[in-house]
Amino acid sequence: MTSEPQSSFRRFARDVDQLLRGGFTQEDQLKIGKIEVPVRTLVIASLVLGALYGCAMGIYSWTMRGGEGVIQVFASSVKVPLLFLLTLLVTFPSLYVSSALARSRLLVGDSLRLLLAAVAVNLALLASFGTVTAFFTLCTDSYPFMVVLNVAFFGVAGLVGLGFLRQALTRLFGEEASAQGVLPRETEEADGIPLMVKRRVPRPVSQRVFSVWLVIYGIVGAQMGWILRPFVGAPSLPFTWFRQQRESNFFAATFEALGKLFQ
């Protein structure tokens, strides 16, 4: 009776482990434009990993407000994975349309799987910072410090997620560029001696579309974070699921927190 749930959990854990180790973004699979990881696995992994970090983030409110702040732990554990998934939801249609126009090899399902995989890697790294965030939460009263610390961890995790995506895209579009005949020869001869030649490889249009999209994703993500706030929960303000104030933005608020840290 219990073997079925156990085996599906094991399969899920194995898939997540393979994903983090880059098993689903190997060159041979990307050559044929395939990413063989179920969307469901990626979504569940993102939800669980995001919730873990959300809990660590929300503990600050709990320590500052006591029992009243427990709801913030729950709210943050829901909002962190939502932040990433909603950002993807908002930006994915425009990416798909542009990459289809640029004749990218990735079809809609594979594009979505690749981006979800990058989100899951991003959230896995973020979750691994959870112990450090929780530790600092227990030692810190300073709200600006917690804001800056969380922004730093989101930034580092985002860069790693970006690196994962960039590596996969280079593998994918490297093949594509080669197929289009735009890759130069690696060697040329001088006086009959073969020499290694380094040349700048022109990137295909479809890869440039992804690069532009990454910038848009970053900006939308930052603003989505602003809309979904509070995540940490300012101790001077009562708990709300969403702040009513719509003025300002993520970047202005981060600089303000940095300024307050030095006051």
Partner 1 sequence: MSAIAARLRASRLLGEVDSLLRGTGVHAVGGGRVPWVRIGLVLIVTGFAYGCVMGYFAGRPRQAFYSGLKVPLLLVVSTLICLPNYFMVNTVLGLRDDFAAAFRGVLSSQGTVAVVLAALAPLTALGYVSSSFYPFATVTNGVMFALASIAGQVTLARHYRPLIAKNPKHRVCLRGWLVLYVFVAIQLAWVLRPFIGAPRMRVRFLRHDAWGNAYVHVTDAVWQVLTGQ
The contact set with partner 1 (CB under 8 A) reads: 17, 20-22, 121, 124-125, 127-132, 135-136, 138-142, 145, 160, 164, 261-263
Paired with 125 in beta bridges are none
DSSP 120-136: HHHHHHHHHTHHHHHHH
Q: Is 198 helix (H, G, I), strand (E, B) or coil?
A: coil
CB nearer to partner 1: pick between 165 and 224: 165
Torsion of CA 199, 203, 208, 214, to 10 degrees: -60
Q: How far apart are CA 34 and CA 19, in angstroms?
A: 14
CB nearer to partner 1: pick between 93 and 163: 163
Shortest CA distance to 109 belongs to which of 50, 174, 40, 164?
40
> How near is the Cβ of 114 to partner 1 at its closest, in Å?
15
CB nearer to partner 1: pick between 96 and 143: 143
> How near is the Cβ of 98 to partner 1 at its closest, in Å?
28
> How near is the Cβ of 163 to partner 1 at its closest, in Å?
8
> Which DSSP symbol is given to 118?
H
CB nearer to partner 1: pick between 37 and 209: 37
> How near is the Cβ of 156 to partner 1 at its closest, in Å?
9
Q: Is 38 helix (H, G, I), strand (E, B) or coil?
A: coil
